[in-house]
Amino acid sequence: MSCPSFVAVVAVLSFSLPLAARPGVVVSPTSIGERVRARNPELAAARLRIGEALGRMKQAGRMKHPELELGVEHDPRWREQRIELGFTQRFPITGRLALEKKISLTEFQSAEAEVREVERRIIAEARAGAVEVLAIGLRRGLLAEQADVAEEFAGMLAAAVAKGEGARLDASQAKLEAAGLAVEVRRLAAAEIEAIGALKPLLGILPGEPLHVAGGLPEPALPAGPSDPAHRPDFQAAVLGVRAAEEGLALRRALRYDDVEAGLFAAAERSEDAPNGFDREALLGLRLKIPLPLWNRNEGAIEEGQAIKERKELETMALGRSIQLEAEAARAEMEEWAGLFDEFTRTLIPLAEAQSAAAEEAHRKGQGDLQTVFRARDKRLEIASSRLDALRGFHLARVRYEAAIGQP
């Protein structure tokens, strides 16, 4: 009775009915990204930030409304009157409006990057959850096959006892081992349900809607390609934050000078010129108001903007370094897990299978005790479980690595 091969363990993950025959949502690690983009409610809410930024961009850089002025004067007897009508408009003498438009465009691009960052984070979390579900399924499949083998061995011993050729204590012990494995299979089934429950909100699954995770965990294969922080949406947003800070500093400098006010006015006047009667006059003129920057040159706001710009630059540098370190750590972890998986597969699993088979053969021939068989089986199961742990650890590290480098 040899330990089931890794391919057989993966096959056990397939349930008795094909996925297409079971109702509900079926996802795989490769299709999770598409599902998150289409159905995740948090991501749908985050996309509204783009609409907010678009509205601000449309509103930015607009001139103030013109002002219409009307004035009427008269004496108590209404013999002399004066009517004046004026039209004024404020004009910036700096590039303030253009700077406001540039800042709003940068903020719009930053909002897009922030939404992509939310998407990256949710997809990474969902992919890690899918790996957990698949890993639990693999372990459950391994234990299920071990339980079948133990049940078969217990049946063989019970038959030998019935013929008077075996010890009843050995048969009872074998039955107890098979029952313990069956209970562990049920515990893992509950853990799988819990992992699926944690995955459902990330995929936008409706209440009462079943979710099935298809596919498997392939053998470790290290990805190629260097890590570049520029691919990460949060780094892109940080770079845009630096640009917005630079544009904001330029705007603060432009605000040292207030707007110039220019206008036209027209006036009609009726005045008494005794004893000659009444005179009527019409006037048309221009007005111009130029503010003098004597008391406030916006120095404090400019100093604040300079500090904001420098802080954004340092934060962006720190984030880029953190991204590179995160990718390096995840890749090193992948390499370690891949090495462990290879060692289990090439060396330890064959030795454990050979040892277990030899112990069972010796017991059948009456040359070994049942405890030796149980110890060999436990060791084989422990090594097989450790190999699954290495496979799970590799794929979780790969999810972190792909998220760190901004891979969609």
Query: Which two structure tokens, joined as six digits, stand for 95?
Result: 């590039």
Per-residue pLDDT band for 224 (boundaries 50, 70, 90) equals confident
pLDDT at 343 > cutoff 50: yes
Distance CA 298, CA 77 (A): 51
User: How big is the chain by its Cα radius of gyration, in Å?
Assistant: 39
Looking at residue 205, its pLDDT comes to: 92
Q: Does residue 273 or residue 407 have the better pLDDT?
A: 407
Length of the chain: 408
374 band by pLDDT with thresholds 50, 70 and 90: confident
Over residues 70-93, the mean pLDDT reads 85
- Per residue in 144-158, pLDDT (tens digit) is 887 777 677 667 667
Neighbours of 222 (CB within 10 A): 11
- The CA distance from 361 to 301, in Å, is 86
The sheet that has 260-273: what strands, in order across it?
Answer: 67-74, 81-91, 260-273, 277-289
* Residue scoring higher pLDDT (23 or 56): 56
The residue-averaged pLDDT of 319-325 equals 94
Supply 307's token pair: 């500090």
Of the candidates 332, 124, 338, the residue with the CA atom closest to the CA atom of residue 217: 338
Q: Is the pLDDT of residue 180 over 90?
A: no
In the chain, % of residues over pLDDT 70: 87
Which pLDDT score is estimated for 6? 39
Strand partners, 27: 213
Domain 6-64+94-256+298-404 belongs in CATH node 3.40.718.10: no
Beta bridge partner(s), residue 74: 81
**Whether 248 contacts 308, CB under 8 Å:** yes
- Measure the CA–CA gap between 192 and 212, rounded to whole angstroms: 11
Chain-wide mean pLDDT for the chain? 85
